[in-house]
Amino acid sequence: MTSERLQEAIDFIQSEKIDEAKEILLEMVKQPFPFADSWYMLMHCMPTKRQKIWCLEECLRIKPDHSDALTMLGLLDPEHQFYSGEKFKHQKNKKTESDEEEEVSWVVVLATVGSVLVVTAAVILIFS
């Protein structure tokens, strides 16, 4: 049942129905033992860099070796100190300048991931 709900949320994200996906994923992460992938996918529904990082931290708290979450965290904040999501939770009601962060440029993220894949493929071809 849970994996079906996760797939439904993924389908909504791919269809750019972010609000519907977010509703499902928020419900999933409130469960007693949420999947790391639920937090990872919720990251795609968040508008600010700070919220995205918080989702990734929660994902990594559940599954420290989640490769996609580690990759995204490195792309979003290369100098991340792996602080807990508590910092965001306690400050969510305070209005600060950083709350009005600009949205993540997914073009830059995708270009970076693409570059890493090309370099990896080149290294494999050279050394094989």
Interval 70-81: pLDDT, tens: 889 888 887 776
Whether the predicted pLDDT of 101 surpasses 60: no
Question: How many distinct structural domains can be found in the chain?
Answer: 1
Give the separation between CA 36 and CA 104, rounded to whole angstroms. 21
Other beta carbons within 10 Å of 100: 8
Q: Half-sphere exposure (CA, 13 Å, Cβ side) for 103?
A: 8
Q: Quote the domain boundaries for residue 61.
A: 2-103
Tell whether 19 is covered by a domain. yes
Task: Report the distance separating Cα 14 and Cα 8, nearest Å.
Answer: 10
Structural domain includes residue 119: no
* 91 is a domain residue: yes
Its pTM stands at 0.62
Is residue 58 situated within a structural domain? Answer: yes
- Give 11-65 pLDDT, tens digit per residue: 999 999 999 999 999 999 998 888 999 999 999 999 999 999 999 999 999 998 8
What pLDDT, on a 0 to 100 scale, did the predictor assign at position 113? 72
The CATH number for 47's domain is 1.25.40
Q: Is 112 inside any structural domain? A: no
Q: Which residues are within 8 A (CB) of 31 and not within 5 positions of it... i.e. 6 or more apart?
A: 2
Residue 12 lies in a domain: yes
Residue 110, domain member (yes or no): no
Examine residue 29 and state whether it is found in any structural domain, yes or no: yes
Question: Quick check: helix, strand or coil at residue 79?
Answer: coil
